Structure 1
Amino acid sequence: MKPTTDRLDTPRAAGMAGIAFSLLLAAAIVLMRIAVPSGNANTPIAPDRRWAVQVALEIVPFAGIFFLWFMGALRAHTGAAEDRFVATVFLGSGFVFVATLFAAAAAAGTVLAEETPSDFGRHYAYTLLATYAMRMAAVFVLATSTIGRMLGVFPRPLAVLGTVVGLLLLVIGSGVPWSELLFPAWALILSLYVLRVRRGTARRTPPDPTDPP
């Protein structure tokens, strides 16, 4: 009989969480860009587009929750041989990303609730999301790609893709409109790969005769 921990190793639901995270975050980014198409924090939100910000703020908490499951799926996929230094950067950047994402959403919600939003409030919320959160996302992508390359659990093209995406997010940040979509796009590709590998491994593993039917 297989140990119970083997059965819990990277459940299919955790892999699906990565897909859910990428889709939710992409939707939130698109909605924010609809509300502020110029990408300028000082641009006031038009009254007829406030709904886009409200919907985005409702989506962000769920995106953060699914991201934590996504992190767990990646750690289980890389196994126990991960480098401790890089793994610390991986975990730290992931947790800071979620914290910054939630802080940006809370700040934006406060600004949205004001009848006359202040320029400082808009700038603060936008800077947290577009600058600091995306920088932490860049570090997370780079750390994940480094772990995958060192352990050989990711194919070389996928590791190179992650390195390129991480460097782009780190360098250009919010300077290029819609560049934030690189992060959820990378997460979607990586989640699909992990699911495909796990499905293939399950098909190749013969059933244990001692397991109950």
Structure 2
Amino acid sequence: MPTPSQHSKPAPPPGQLSTPRAAALAGVLFAVLLGTTLVLIRITMPDHVEDSAQWLQTRHSALITATVLMPFAGISFLWFIGVVRDGFGDHEDRFFLSVFMGSGVLFLAMMFVATAGVAGLVTSNDSVTDPAARTEVINFGRMMVISASQTYALRMAAVFMISLATIWLKTRLMPRWLVALSYLVAVTLLISSELSRWLTLVFPVWVLVVSGLLLARAGLIGEQRGEGDRSRRLA
């Protein structure tokens, strides 16, 4: 007869976060920071601006705040990617894992490019003195920011969602409804990413949903990983 101690699960070391909880916390922080950044840029940079110089002067502080928040959002997203990958354990699929990590890094790079464009717009408003040149620079910068954040970043986010959903489907680490929802949202972003700039908020909302579910299922995922570890030791 096995003793009760043989069935008990080892307690995690004090102060150590489990992988699902760490991923959830990083995802929530990323979703809040990126969502705030995108909203600030969206409400301060409308589609049609007649007086670009005045627009930058009157909304200068909001744009600066967005450029300050974005690096911290990026750090949180890298942490999210790392701890989500660690949660796969031996279930890693090299192909989809490569696509998952590559698309995540490319998404983050495009968002950094877009935010750097915003910072450049703020700087150019003070450094470019000729009114005609200033208007051309600001118009070019606005289009670059929109293209980087929508045409490229959103589509990389869609690839990130598809690859992660496929890994979940193969490993059964997450429920099928989330896999189906991820596929549906990703295809929508791939096709319709340029219809509205508010679509950029879809990705942080999706990460927030995933993070909440990771937090709710942290114990179950930990048990699945523990069973896998025990099976490998017995083998």
Name stretches of at least 5 consecutive residues in structure 2 with no aligned partner: 1-8, 126-133, 227-235
Deviates more, 1:87-96 or 1:105-114: 105-114
Aligned CA distance change for structure 1 residues 42 and 186 (closer, same or farther; 3 Å): farther
Aligned CA distance change for structure 1 residues 3 and 80 (closer, same or farther; 3 Å): farther
Aligned CA distance change for structure 1 residues 192 and 4 (closer, same or farther; 3 Å): closer
Q: Which runs of 4+ in 1 moved over 3 A?
A: 1-5, 11-14, 40-45, 199-205
Indicate yes or no: 2:194 matched with 1:174. Answer: yes
Q: 2:146 aligns with which of 98, 120, 126?
A: 126
* Cα deviation, residue 194, structure 1: 1.1
Q: 1:79 aligns with which of 68, 80, 89?
A: 89
* Cα deviation, residue 178, structure 1: 1.0
TM-score (norm 2): 0.76
* Cα deviation, residue 186, structure 1: 0.5
Comparing both structures, which one devotes a greater share of its residues to helix? 2
C-alpha RMSD over aligned residues? 2.8
TM-score (norm 1): 0.84
Q: 2:64 aligns with which of 37, 54, 64?
A: 54
Aligned CA distance change for structure 1 residues 157 and 126 (closer, same or farther; 3 Å): same
Partner of 1:142: 162
Partner of 2:33: 24
Could you tell me which amino acid in structure 1 is paired with residue 87 of structure 2?
Answer: H
How does 1:30-49 map onto structure 2 within 5 Å? 30-38=39-47, 44=52, 46=55, 47-49=57-59
State the alpha-carbon separation in 2 of the partners of residues 194 and 67 from structure 1: 15
SS at match of 1:170: helix
Q: 1:109 aligns with which of 113, 116, 119?
A: 119
Name stretches of at least 5 consecutive residues in structure 1 with no aligned partner: 206-213
Identity of aligned residues (%): 36
Could you tell me which amino acid in structure 1 is paired with residue 218 of structure 2?
Answer: R
